[in-house]
Structure 1
C-alpha cells in the first residue's frame, strides 16, 4: 500500500503545482502530511518526520545555499559576469557558442539561473550574426540553455547540485570532482550536436523568431535579477572572480587530498564546503564594501536573501519528503526495485534514478524541484545500493535536465529575452536540455566505473 499512497502523494503534489498553481513548498508539504497519515505514522510521527527531515537537510546545505546566493549577488553588483560575457563575445567569434556553454556551466553556477539568462541573452542576440548569419541565434540559444542547466545540476555551487548532494549525503568535494567534468563535457558535446541538428534545416526563422516580442525590463524577475543600478569599482576581472575560484580550489583540494589519504587538519578545515564558500563570501564582501559602502552591501544582501528564502524552503521540504518516505516503508520497496536485476544492478539503478528525475521534472516544470523530489524519494535506500551514492546523485542530476518546457517560468523568460516564439523555444531550450540529459547519461555510467575502481 505504501506504493499506492506514495504515488497518490506525489501525483497530487504535481497536480497542485501544475493545474492549480499552488507553490511547490505548500504542495510538497501537503504530500508529506498525506503520506505520513495514510501509511500509519500518525499525527505526531508525521510531524516529527517532516520537521526532522527539514532540519537534517538544512544542516547539510542551508549555509551552502545561502553563501552561494550571496556570493553571486555580490559578484553581480561588481559587474563581474557582465564583463566576462563581453570579453567572450569580443574574443571568441564563431566559437562563441562553445565558450558560452563552457563558461555558463563552470563559472556562472554561483548565480541563480534567472540572473544567468538575463546576463547572457543580450550577448546572444547581438553576437548571433557574427557566429552564423542563419543559425547564430538558435545555436547560441541552445548553448545558453544547456550551459546554464548543466552547471545548475552538476557543478558546485549550482543550487540544484548542492541540494542533490545534500539530500543524497554526498560530500560536495566528491560531487564537484565528478560533476565538474561531466557538466562541462555535457555542455560542449550538446552544443556541437545541437549545431548538427540545426544544419538539417530544423530552424525556421519565419516561425521561430518573434520580431514583435518585447522584453519586460521592469518585470519582477528582471528587477530581482538586477538589484543595483550602480556597480562596484572595476577591479580586474580575475580579481572579481576570486570569490568563486578560491572556494572551488579549496573544495577540490580537500577532496583530492582525501582520496589520496593525504589530509591534514588545516586542509580539512579549509576544504570543508561551508568554510570554503564562507571564505569566498568574505572576499566578495570586502570588495563590494570597499567601493559601495555599508549601504550598498546591505542592498545586495537584501536582494540575495529574497532569492535564498524560497530555495531553502523547497530544499528543506524535499528533505521532509525523504524522511516521511523512509518511515513509510517505501524505502524497502524501492530497494527491491533497484535490486531487481542482479545481472545489471548498476545500470538499472542509474536508469531508474534518471527516469524518476526526468518524469518529475517534466511534470512539475522545475529542474530543482524535480531533482529535489527525486532525491527525496531515492535517498532513503541509496545506502543499501552496491555503488557509490555520488553515482545515483549524478543520475538524478542528469535526468532532472530533461525537456524543460512550457510549464516552467524559465521557459517563458528565455523566450521573451531572446525574442523567439514558443515553437522556437521548444526547438532550442527544450531540445538542448533534452539532448543534454541524454548526453550526460553515458558520462554518469562512466563515472560509476571510475567510482567503483577507486
Structure 2
C-alpha cells in the first residue's frame, strides 16, 4: 500500500507543479524522478545514473524522429501545403457534407501539424465555408477541432504518440502504431463529428458568437473561399506535393513493419533488408523531409530550409526535453519495487487497458497538455505492461491508444487548444464548454471503448 501511496503523491506533485505553480513539465518530471527515487529507497548514486540513462535512452530512440516530424510540419504550414490538403478534400467531397469535410480536413492536417497550429491555419477557411454553405459556425468549429484532435493524440509522426510509443518500447515498430492509430483516430473523429452536427441548426447570433465580416476572406457569400489563401500564399503546391511528405514516411514505415514479420511476406534477403532499412522511422521521416524540401519555392532554397529547420527545432525542443524527462521518470520507477507490487495488485483488479486511460485522463484534465499526459503516462505504465497483460507488440500498441484516448479527455480552460478554438472562433466560453469540452469527453470515451473492443479481438 505504501508503494501505491508514493505513486499517487508523485502524480499529485507533477500536477500541482505544472498547474498551480506553473513549473515547466520538464522540471516537474525530473523533480518527481528524484523524489520518487529517494522515496522508494534507491541509493543516491543509482538515482543519478538511472535518470541520466533513462533520459538518454528514450531520446536516442525517438528524439530525431520527433525533430524530423516537427520540421516537416513547419514546412507544410509555411508553404501552404496544409491548405492544399484542405482544398483537395473539399473538391473530393463537394459541398453536400460540410461538417464531414471539415472533420476530414482536420484529421489529415493534424498528422504532421500540431492541432493548435492546424486550427489557426484553417480557421479562416472554416469561416468561409460556413458562410458560403450557410452552416452554423459552431458546428464547423467543433467538426474541425475534433478532427484535428483525433490524429493529434493517436497517429505518429505527431510527437505525443511517437514519444508514448518510444516509452513503451515500440520505436522500432511505429508502423503498427500508425495503422491502429489511423483506425481509432478516425472513429473518434467521427464521434466528434456526430456531436458537432447537433449544432448545425444553431443560429450563431443566438449562440452569442461575435461574428465579424472582417474574419471572412473577401466576399465569401459569392467568391471561392480559397481565393484569399491563394493571394496570401501565392501559387499553392499541387496535391501530390502537399501529401507526399506525410504519405511517404507512413508508407515506408508500414512496408518496413510488414517486411520484418517472421513470414517475410514481402520477400527475404536483400529486399527484406532494404525495406526494413527504409522503414526505420528515422530513415522514413528523413525521406519525408527530403520530399518536403520540394515545397520550398523561394530562389534561395537552402536559406529557406535553414529557416524552417530552425523553426522546427525551436518548436520541438520543449517536447524533446519533456520526453527525455518522462523517460528518466519511467526509468526510476522501473528500478523500484513498484512494478512487482502493482503487478500483483492490478492482476487482481483486472482493469487492463483502462488503467493507462484513467491515468492519462486524470493528468490531461488536471494540467491541460495532451503531450505531457501522453509522455508521463507512458513512462509511468511502462514497467507494468506485463502485469496489465499487455506485454506484446499488439498489447503495447493498444496501450498507446488507451493513453491517447485518455490524453484527449477533456480539453477545458487549462488547455491551450481550448482557448485557440474558442478565441479564434469568437465563441463564448460557456458555449465552448458545451460544444468543445463535451466533444473531447465523447471522443475520449469513444476511443477507450474502441481500444477495449480491439483488445478482445487482438489479444
Which residue is equivalent to 1:279? 287
Provide the C-alpha distance between the structure 2 equivalents of 1:138 and 1:444, rounded to a whole number of angstroms: 29
Residue among 347, 371, 375 paired with 1:372: 375
Tell me what 1:393 maps to: 400
TM-score norm. by structure 1 comes to 0.88
TM-score (norm 2): 0.87
1:135-179 Cα offsets, whole Å, 9 max, x none, are: x21212211222112101111212211111111112201111211
Shift of 1:383: 3.5
Distance in 1 (CA, whole Å) between partners of 2:193 and 2:303 is 42
1:440 and 2:447 matched: yes
Q: CA deviation at 1:234?
A: 4.2
Q: 1:411 aligns with which of 407, 415, 418?
A: 418
State the alpha-carbon separation in 2 of the partners of residues 390 and 357 from structure 1.
15
SS at match of 2:95: helix
Unaligned runs of 5+ in 1: 216-228
Residue matched to 1:184: 186
Q: 1:89 to 1:397 in 2, by over 3 A?
A: same
What per-residue deviation string (whole Å, max 9, x for no partner) do you get for residues 213-238 of structure 1?
Answer: 999xxxxxxxxxxxxx9858644221
Q: What's the CA shift for 1:194?
A: 3.7
Q: 1:140 matched to which residue of 2?
A: 140
Give 1:116 deviation, angstroms: 0.5
The answer to whether the 8 Å contact 2:155/2:182 transfers is: yes
State how far apart, in whole Å, the 1-side matches of 2:299 and 2:47 are.
50
> Does structure 1 retain, via aligned residues, the 8 Å contact 2:346–2:387?
no
Instruction: Provide the secondary structure at the position in 2 that maps to 1:41.
Output: coil
Distance in 1 between residues matched to 2:398 and 2:431, nearest whole Å: 34
Residues in 2 aligned to 1:56 and 1:283: alpha-carbon distance in whole angstroms = 29
Question: Match for residue 226 of structure 1?
Answer: none
* Aligned-partner Cα distance in 2 for 1:336–1:16: 30
- Corresponding residue for residue 31 of structure 1: 32
1:43-99 Cα offsets, whole Å, 9 max, x none, are 212111211111111122101100100111112232101233344456632412212
The change in CA–CA distance for 1:436 and 1:182 in structure 2 (over 3 A counts) is same
Q: Distance in 2 between matches of 1:253 and 1:127?
A: 37
Equivalence for 1:225:
none
| Corresponding position: 1:451 with 2:452 | no
How well do the aligned residues superpose, as a CA RMSD in angstroms?
Answer: 2.5
User: For residues 200 and 122 of structure 1, do their structure 2 counterparts lie closer, same or farther at Cα, with a shift above 3 Å needed?
Assistant: closer
Per-residue Cα deviation, 1:183-224 (whole angstroms, up to 9, x for no partner):
11221233124424x3797x8854542458999xxxxxxxxx
Kept in 2, the 8 Å contact 1:93–1:130? The answer is no
Residue 150 of structure 1 pairs with residue 153 of structure 2: no
Structure 2: stretches of 5+ with no match in the other structure: 216-230, 267-271
What does 1:185-334 correspond to in 2, within 5 Å? 185-196=187-198, 198=199, 205-206=205-206, 208-211=208-211, 234-259=236-261, 261-262=264-265, 264-288=272-296, 291-334=299-342
1:155–1:338 CA distance, 2 compared to 1 (3 A): same
Change in 2 beyond 3 A, CA 1:114/1:446: same
Distance apart, 1:384 and its partner CA: 4.2
Partners in 1 of 2:167 and 2:151 — Cα distance? 18
Match of 2:73 in 1: 72
